[in-house]
């Protein structure tokens, strides 16, 4: 089996893989606060769908996880806490490019 490699847009990019079979304990990829982050309340269109919001904002649905990383006090579960009316801060694409190396 070949080495498993995750893309830079993956939350597992920094996490080690053992014996090409399983992931180690997840290495966190924090998204820092930025004064230019936009505060926004999740609308019904994006209820339980962080992937759709990531696609619409960044053109990459694989960045669904950045909302939970940027808002750890509001989103504990990146899917089931992503509900209508929840206020979150949205990181700018330039921040993600810098921090994640996209």
Residue-wise pLDDT tens digits, 4-25: 577 788 877 877 777 777 777 7
For residues 66-71, give the mean pLDDT. Answer: 96
Cross-strand bridge partners of residue 18: 22
Give the residue, 86 or 9, on which the prediction is more confident. 86
* Token representation of residue 11: 């939350």
Share of the chain above pLDDT 90, in %: 67
* Short-list 44, 9, 77, 31, CA closest to 52: 44
pLDDT band of 43, cuts 50, 70, 90: very high
Alpha carbon separation from 18 to 2, 5, 15, 26 (Å, rounded): 12, 12, 10, 12
* Token representation of residue 39: 């505060």
């Amino acid at each position: 089996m070949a080495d498993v490699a995750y893309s830079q847009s993956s939350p597992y990019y920094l996490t080690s893989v053992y014996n090409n079979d399983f992931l180690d304990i997840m290495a966190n990829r924090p998204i820092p606060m930025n004064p230019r982050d936009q505060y926004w309340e999740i609308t019904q269109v994006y209820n339980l769908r962080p992937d759709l919001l990531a696609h619409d904002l960044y053109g990459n649905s694989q960045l669904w996880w950045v909302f939970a990383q940027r808002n750890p006090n509001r989103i504990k579960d990146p899917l089931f806490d992503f509900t209508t009316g929840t206020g979150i801060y949205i990181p700018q694409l330039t921040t993600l490019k810098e921090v994640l190396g996209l």
